[in-house]
């Protein structure tokens, strides 16, 4: 068990556009974040992950970067950024920047040059191919619907874009491009940042020859040819030796389609690549064979299986990251809990479940006050490019039922997570004095940070307690995980073990009472209730008891 500060940390993710607007233009900004640093300190988080704040035409809200070394005008200036970093550091918090280098914006000067001619020095910074029989070079579909290739008349070739057509993929095969990326990373690290969250970093190496997917559709999923590709570990090891190994920093790679075997290499204990990765496996348990928008009810058995697999498979080999939502995912309380009658109880239960697992926990803005999904009446009220492209393909071109697609958006759409943070019960939830870029969730009068701070039993203070416990008990960070009561359909229970101590984590995922029975082989001398989301009678025996809806308890056993 090697001790590391980034294992002991809790990370808080900010999606700057939606966090806090300081100047009334309706868009969250850097000064807005700086004005809330005391709030974050009060919560107790260690590291702030800032979703992209770089110059961008905002086709994908900053994940399309046109200048990696400048700040987006709407978010402020480099001086504002310096002030934010200083504000974090002076309060003992760290800053992790988003690194988006699988692709850039088509407005990045590299791409502006690249498309000029086939012999331009920047041509090979991107992935250009001639068409095949008057069609795209292969049949890959983009994450955001349609072909992953865009034709460019000027040089009569196509360029690859796994995301929007304004996000051309960078060509990592080109050592010059790689060096530019490393230099840029070094520049930020020398400015004093403490880490990087790396956007879809396991997509940077594409299979030789870019073969078409064997699936029969016009545009088909080609993930086998670009997820965890042939040279990805080589690139990350190079990045590690050129940049990462020179700093005491935190790194997390976003890795859709990575298995635990892949993860054991990306996040290996020897530290030759990254500290940890984001898996997507638990985010897929409510998707049918048709993918993300093919919504199906999820099962506790699936959650147990996926989470336990990641806990067991990385034990002694690598480190996990822990999250239940982010800017791309629905709100966790709406998805895995109950955002109606048991919103507070279930939000606390889910937080307990996640923070007691082995790994570094990530909190997404608004999670700490139990923010929920949103339902807008019309498609026009949505902003997300993924939602609009999908709606266009399915409803406008594909004649699917409008209402059915809207229902899927209500459950899975990324804008669920992107409505402005609800600060108080004043107009627009105190997010802006102007008109917010995306509508505020109408439940802000009930759910907001001001109210949470005034209520000692709020979700906010529950998170504060969870984070404090992490600082007080090594076992929460380093204890070994073991699933118990595997077949129980209501309760997810597990233990963590370190030296003579055991942590017993009991979470009722059901909206009704559930009976907990302690496994016979779990012996202990003394016990201490560390955290709980309902009143508990101190003398209650734990060999057998009834849990209330969404009840969670953590016992420390000796
Ligand atoms: O996301 C990549 C990714 O694979 C998914 O999260 C994807 O956007 C979503 O599930 C679609 O269903 C990263 C960023 O987190 C996301 O915001 C960006 O749009 C995307 O990369 C492109 O940069
Ligand atoms: Ca603003």
The DSSP H or E segment spanning 265 is helix 260-266
CA distance 428 to 440: 6
Residue with tokens 């504060």: 464
Compute the distance from residue 372 Cα to the ligand 2 centre, in Å: 23
Q: Which residue has the tokens 């905002």?
A: 58
Q: Report the CATH fold assignment for 476-557.
A: Immunoglobulin-like (2.60.40)
CA-proximal residue: ligand 1, atom 10 (nearest): 328
SS3 55: strand
Ligand 1 pocket, 256 CB below 6 A? yes
415 within ligand 1 shell (Cβ under 6 A): no
Ligand 1 binding pocket includes 384 (Cβ within 6 Å): no
Q: What is the pLDDT of residues 143-171, one digit of tens each?
A: 999 999 999 999 999 999 999 999 999 99
pLDDT of residue 87: 99
ipTM of the complex: 0.97
pLDDT of amino acid 444: 98
Q: Which of 199, 345, 386, 551 is catalytic?
A: 199
Query: Collapsing DSSP states into helix, strand and coil, what is residue 557?
Result: strand
CA 141 to centroid of ligand 1, rounded, Å: 14
The span from the CA of 209 to the CA of 327, in Å, is 33
Among residues 21, 106, 194, 254, which one is catalytic? 254
Angle of CA points 441, 56, 149, to nearest 5°: 100
The residue ranges of DSSP E strands in 88-223, in sequence order, are 94-99, 128-129, 149-152, 157-160, 195-198
Closest CA to 193 of 249, 277, 261: 249
Backbone angles phi, psi at 544, to 5 degrees: -160, 120
Strand-pair partners of 277: 253, 320
Question: In this structure, are residues 250 and 275 in contact, taking their beta carbons and an 8 Å threshold?
Answer: yes
Distance from residue 400's CA to the centre of ligand 1 (Å): 24
H or E element at residue 494: strand 491-498
**pLDDT, tens digit, 9 for 90 and up, residues 466-488:** 999 999 999 999 999 999 999 99
CATH code assigned to 109-160 = 3.90.400.10
Q: Quote the CA–CA distance of 217 and 224 in Å, as a whole number.
A: 16
Short-list 81, 101, 85, 83, CA closest to 93: 85
Q: Position of tokens 């849990």? A: 547
Per-residue confidence in pLDDT tens, the chain, 558 aa? 799 999 999 999 999 999 999 999 999 999 999 999 999 999 999 999 999 999 999 999 999 999 999 999 999 999 999 999 999 999 999 999 999 999 999 999 999 999 999 999 999 999 999 999 999 999 999 999 999 999 999 999 999 999 999 999 999 999 999 999 999 999 999 999 999 999 999 999 999 999 999 988 999 999 999 999 999 999 999 999 999 999 999 999 999 999 999 999 999 999 999 999 999 999 999 999 999 999 999 999 999 999 999 999 999 999 999 999 999 999 999 999 999 999 999 999 999 999 999 999 999 999 999 999 999 999 999 999 999 999 999 999 999 999 999 999 999 999 999 999 999 999 999 999 999 999 999 999 999 999 999 999 999 999 999 999 999 999 999 999 999 999 999 999 999 999 999 999 999 999 999 999 999 999 999 999 999 999 998 778 899 999 999 999 999 999
- SS3 percent helix, strand, coil of the chain, rounded to 5, is 35, 20, 45
**Nearest ligand to the CA atom of 16:** 2
CB–CB of 317/269 below 8 Å? yes
**Residue 427 annotated in active site:** no
293 in contact with ligand 1, CB cutoff 6 A: no
State the pLDDT at residue 215. 84
Ligand 1 centroid to 200 CA: how many Å? Answer: 7
280 lines ligand 1 (CB under 6 A): no
> Cα separation of 8 and 359, whole Å?
9
Contact 165, 176 (CB under 8 A): no
225 touches 169 (CB < 8 A): no
Answering whether pTM is above 0.80, one says yes
Neighbours of ion ligand 2 (CB under 5 A): 21, 23, 25, 27, 29
pLDDT score recorded for residue 541: 86
Nearest Cα residue to atom 4 of ligand 1 = 256
d(CA 322, CA 332): 13
Q: Report which ligand 1 atom has the smallest distance to the Cα of 163.
A: 22
For residues 331 and 339, give the distance between their C-alpha atoms in angstroms, rounded to a whole number: 9
- Which two tokens mark 421? 């943070």
Q: Distance between CA atoms of 60 and 385, rounded to whole angstroms?
A: 6
- Using only the alpha carbons of the chain, give its radius of gyration: 24
What pLDDT is stored for residue 544 in this prediction?
A: 95
Angle between helices 175-190 and 232-242 (to 10 degrees): 40
**In angstroms, rounded to a whole number, what is the distance separating the alpha carbons of residues 199 and 96?**
12
Mutating to test ligand 1, I would choose from 165, 328, 384, 390 the residue with most ligand atoms within 8 A of its C-beta, which is: 328
* 370/348 Cα distance (integer angstroms): 9
Which of 200, 293, 388 to mutate for ligand 1's pocket (most ligand atoms within 8 Å of CB)? 200
Whole-number Å distance between alpha carbons of 530 and 453 = 22
Classify residue 277 by burial, with Cβ atoms within 10 Å: 0-12, 13-18, 19+. buried
DSSP string covering 190-251? HTT--EEEETTGGGSSPPTT-PPPSS-SSSB--GGGTTT-TTHHHHHHHHHHHTGGGS--EE
294 is catalytic: no
With beta carbons less than 8 A apart as the criterion, state whether 194 and 94 touch.
Answer: yes
User: φ, ψ for residue 202 (rounded to 5)?
Assistant: -85, 10
Where exactly are the structural domains of the chain?
5-102+175-377+419-462, 109-160, 378-418, 476-557
**Residue of the nearest CA to atom 7 in ligand 1?**
328
Residue entry with tokens 């300190």: 41
Ordered DSSP codes for 3-51: --HHHH--EEEE-GGGT--SSSSSS--HHHHHTTHHHHHHHT-SEEEE-
Q: Which residue's CA lies nearest to atom 2 of ligand 1?
A: 200
514-517 and 480-484 as β-strands: parallel, antiparallel, unpaired? unpaired
* CA contacts within 13 A on the Cβ side of 342: 22
The predicted pLDDT at position 231 comes to 98
Give the whole-angstrom CA distance, residue 41 versus residue 94. 11
Integer Cα distance of 466 and 50 in angstroms:
22
Kindly report the CATH number that applies to the domain delimited by 5-102+175-377+419-462: 3.20.20.80
Question: Is the Cα torsion angle 269, 270, 271, 273 positive or negative in sign?
Answer: negative
CA distances from 234 to 179, 252, 352 (A): 14, 17, 37
Token pair of 509 as six digits: 């995922």
The pLDDT value recorded for residue 110 is 98
33 alpha carbon to ligand 1 midpoint, in Å? 23
């Amino acid at each position: 068990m090697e001790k590391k500060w980034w294992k002991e940390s809790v990370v808080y993710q900010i999606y700057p556009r939606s966090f806090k607007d300081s100047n009334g233009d309706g868009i969250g900004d850097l000064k807005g974040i700086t004005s809330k640093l005391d709030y974050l300190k009060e919560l107790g988080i260690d590291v702030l992950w800032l979703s992209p704040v770089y110059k961008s035409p905002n086709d994908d809200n900053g994940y399309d970067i046109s200048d990696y070394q400048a700040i987006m005008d709407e978010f402020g200036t480099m001086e504002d950024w310096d002030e934010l970093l200083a504000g974090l550091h002076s309060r003992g918090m760290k800053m992790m920047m988003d690194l988006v280098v699988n692709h850039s914006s088509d407005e990045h000067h590299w791409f502006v040059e690249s498309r000029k001619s086939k012999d331009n020095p920047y041509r090979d910074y991107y992935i250009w191919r001639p068409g095949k029989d008057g069609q795209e070079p292969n049949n890959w579909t983009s994450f955001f619907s349609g072909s992953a290739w865009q034709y460019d008349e000027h040089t009569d070739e196509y360029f690859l874009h796994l995301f929007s057509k304004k996000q051309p993929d960078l060509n990592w095969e080109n050592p010059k491009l790689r060096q530019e990326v490393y230099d840029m990373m070094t520049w930020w690290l020398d400015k004093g940042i403490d880490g990087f969250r790396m956007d879809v970093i396991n997509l940077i190496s594409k299979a030789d020859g870019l073969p078409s997917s064997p699936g029969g559709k016009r545009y088909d999923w080609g993930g086998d040819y670009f997820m965890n590709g042939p040279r990805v570990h080589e690139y990350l090891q190079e990045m590690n030796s050129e940049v990462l190994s020179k700093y005491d920093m935190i790194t997390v790679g976003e890795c859709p389609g990575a298995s635990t075997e892949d993860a054991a290499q990306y996040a290996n204990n020897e530290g030759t690549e990254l500290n940890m990765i984001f898996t997507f496996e638990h985010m897929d348990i409510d998707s049918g064979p048709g993918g993300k928008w093919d919504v199906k009810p999820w099962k506790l058995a699936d959650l147990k299986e996926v989470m336990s697999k990641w806990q067991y498979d990385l034990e002694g080999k690598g480190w996990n990251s822990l999250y239940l939502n982010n800017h791309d995912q629905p709100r966790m309380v709406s998805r895995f809990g109950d955002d109606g009658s048991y919103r507070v109880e279930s939000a606390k239960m889910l937080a307990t479940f996640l923070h007691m697992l082995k790994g570094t926990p990530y909190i997404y803005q608004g999670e700490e006050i139990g923010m929920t999904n949103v339902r807008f009446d019309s498609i026009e009220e949505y902003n997300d490019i993924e939602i609009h492209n999908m709606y266009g393909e399915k409803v406008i071109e594909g004649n699917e039922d409008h209402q059915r697609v809207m229902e899927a958006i209500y459950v899975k759409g990324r804008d669920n997570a992107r409505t402005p943070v609800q600060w108080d019960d004043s107009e627009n939830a105190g997010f802006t004095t102007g008109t917010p870029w995306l509508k505020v969730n109408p439940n802000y009068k009930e759910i907001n940070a001001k109210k949470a701070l005034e209520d000692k039993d709020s979700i906010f203070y529950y998170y504060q307690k969870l984070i404090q416990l992490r600082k007080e008990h090594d076992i929460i960070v380093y204890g070994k995980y073991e699933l118990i009561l595997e077949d129980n359909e209501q309760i997810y229970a597990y233990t963590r073990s370190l030296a003579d101590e055991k942590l017993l984590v009991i979470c009722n995922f059901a909206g009704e009472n559930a009976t907990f029975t302690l496994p016979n082989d779990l012996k202990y001398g003394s016990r201490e209730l560390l955290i709980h989301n309902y009143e508990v009678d101190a003398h209650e025996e734990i060999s057998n008891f009834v849990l209330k809806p969404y009840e969670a308890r953590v016992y420390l056993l000796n």
